[in-house]
Amino acid sequence: MARMKACMAAVLVLEKEGVTQAFGVPGAAINPFYAALRERGSVAHVLARHVEAASHMAEGYTRARAGNIGVCIGTSGPAGTDMITGLYSAGADSIPILCITGQAPRARMHKEDFQAVDIESIAKPVTKWAVTVREPAQVPRAFQQAFHLMRSGRPGPVLVDLPLDVQLAEIEFDIDTYEPLPVYKPAATRKQVEKALDMLAAAEKPLVVAGGGIINADASELLVEFAELTGVPVIPTLMGWGSIPDDHPLMAGMCGLQTSHRYGNATMLASDFVLGIGNRWANRHTGSVDVYTKGRTFVHVDIEPTQIGRVFMPDFGIVSDAKAALELFVQVARERRAAGRLRDYGEWANRCAERKRLMLRKSHFDDVPIKPMRVYEEMNAAFPRDTTYVTTIGLSQIAGAQFLHVYGPRRWINCGQAGPLGWTIPAALGVVAADPTRTVVGLSGDYDFQFLIEELAVGAQFRLPYVHVLVNNSYLGLIRQAQRGFSMDYCVQLAFENENMPEEDGEVRGYGVDHPTVVRGLGCKALRVTDPDRIRPALVEAQALARKHRVPVVVEVILEKVTNIAMGTEIDNVMEFEAVDCRHPEGRAGLELAGLLG
């Protein structure tokens, strides 16, 4: 046993649990913890410019690599409340992050002390556990419990709040005998998997819906192996995108109202059986339950028992970690294949592949101002196969999901359920901090970009290079498109005549903020593109600049101000505002005749 301050015990536990990186902002009530961090020197620290951004950095860090747990740190009061959005975002997408906050001394917590707030109560609805540690001797075990809860069952965030006098109190603690608590993950049984495969074998047109739980469980290789063993096509959700490469013959496209492919929706509507693994039937994926489920049998595998039946009642449910389930699915499928008991789905898979080949949206536009579709076409050409894309919400995210290509797990890092504006820059910085050798590309509309633009200075200070593609239409584009249903275009315009922009920039002055000037002022590099033929060269140049200068490089593409992106109210009623690239020789009539639209 050794005598030490409770804040030092907390830092020693972080080390034992594998933490090597943290993001945060120091302050008076958390300074003892920072003093212990400095004394140990084992945990690197990135100083955020906004505490909410620190929480998004932590989330990006976790998502970047299997086994990571991002840590964000702040002082008492507004630091904790600023991080609530990050905790909500992480919890909604089953991402473990640890939020550590300082607190007023225990005797002052109920006396409206400066920056004293009941952060434990505020954070409880958006975390797996939130606790204010009131006894110094409980500090190391509170952190031990935090890591156990973050990793067990459905992953998620935890907040640990440390009063100032608790951090400073001395306790007895033996770090040499400390061990992390065993992680609990439910596992499917052989009997359950046998039944699910029997149900699949009775189907004519089966699909696997691959959710983000497969990414979280690091089970993408097992998913691909299972698909190849059975010959069943895969529909990834937005959170599961990359679990099977986009160019794999059995990758059948994404389904949904917005972030979907025409061929993905058509294939879902043509199917008669769906095996969902690690997904939550999010409404942007399903649309209404009636349309989504009609004529189909469902098996749902999820790590969280209360998730099964939450959106609709499946025909069969299995509570299991995605990796544990897929290991058993692969094992049983191998046995059935060896015994000649697997059905041949070659014809069905070929028809899914034909939809994928023919039912495309047009991306090559030469218009000036630039149409957004062209940007994603050029991104596909300019960035390498192993690029990691980071984005959050808006028309940029929706169009990106419709047109970009993703070829592996953790190569599409997207805030799914919460979708807070401003998430992209700090999350991308967190991804780069986790793996500085990775090609990372942020994707933002101008409003998301402006929310936490100051965090670019963090990238410059800590040498966190990545390329940020800023598609600027000087609009809250998604809200503007949604307002069409109310026959208005109200309070969503970001454009103004920027008097400080040089006259030679012409019409760009009417787009408002001079982003490249702001970006350079924050210590980063910036390029602006107004000609569609210049997009690809600019993206190539940006990668070279990022490698050379080791800072974020922003490529601003000036778009036409109003472009409606394909979306709809049901998966069978998605409106295509722009021309589609229908490659079947007889056009839409030929697709219908071939049965590819249903």
The two three-digit tokens of residue 579, written as one number: 């021309």
Burial 393-419 (b: 16+ CB within 10 A, else e): bbbbbbbbbbbbbbbbbbbbbbbbbbb
- Six-digit token string for 73: 């740190």
| Whole-number pLDDT of residue 419 | 80
57 — alpha (psi -120 to 50), left (phi > 0) or beta? Answer: alpha
The tens digit of pLDDT for each residue in 142-170 reads 999 999 999 999 999 999 999 999 999 99
Contact indicator for 292, 303 with CB cutoff of 8 Å: no
Q: Which two tokens stand for residue 406?
A: 């993703």
Query: Which stretches does DSSP call E strand in 164-204?
Result: 170-173
Smallest Cα–Cα separation from 163: which of 359, 10, 361, 329?
Answer: 10
* pLDDT value, residue 497: 87
Task: Give the pLDDT of residue 499.
Answer: 86
Give yes or no on whether 190-358 and 363-558 have one common fold.
yes
Instruction: Using the structure block, give the residue that is written with the tokens 């052989």.
Output: 190
pLDDT for res 593 = 44
Integer CA distances (angstroms), 62 to 19, 57, 224, 548, in order: 11, 9, 23, 27
pLDDT for position 218 = 96
Reading the block at residue 49, the tokens are: 């410019």
Query: Which residues are marked as active site?
Result: 25, 51, 421, 476, 479
Task: Give the start-to-end residue ranges of the domains of the chain.
Answer: 2-177, 190-358, 363-558
pLDDT digits (tens, 9 = 90+) for 68-78: 999 999 999 99
Burial of residue 485 (CB within 10 Å: 0-12, 13-18, 19+) is exposed
Q: How far apart are CA 515 and CA 507, in angstroms?
A: 15
Q: Rounded to 5 degrees, what are φ and ψ at 142? A: -65, -40
User: What distance in Å separates the CA atoms of residue 298 and residue 207, rounded to the nearest whole number?
Assistant: 10
How open is the CA angle 77-81-87, to the nearest 5 degrees? 140
Distance of alpha carbon 443 from alpha carbon 259, whole angstroms: 15
Task: Count other Cβ atoms within 10 Å, centred on residue 105.
Answer: 16
What distance in Å separates the CA atoms of residue 273 and residue 296, rounded to the nearest whole number? 5
Which parts of the chain sit beneath pLDDT 70? 1, 477, 579-598
Q: What is the reported pLDDT for 580?
A: 63
Q: What is the architecture of the domain spanning 363-558?
A: 3-Layer(aba) Sandwich (3.40)
Counting beta carbons within 10 angstroms of the beta carbon of residue 340, is it exposed (0 to 12), middle (13 to 18) or buried (19 or more)? exposed
CATH code of 190-358, in short, is 3.40.50.1220
pLDDT at site 376: 96
The fold of the 2-177 domain, in CATH, is Rossmann fold (3.40.50)
**Opening angle at CA 287, ends 284 and 291, nearest 5:** 155
- How much is the pLDDT for 586? 43
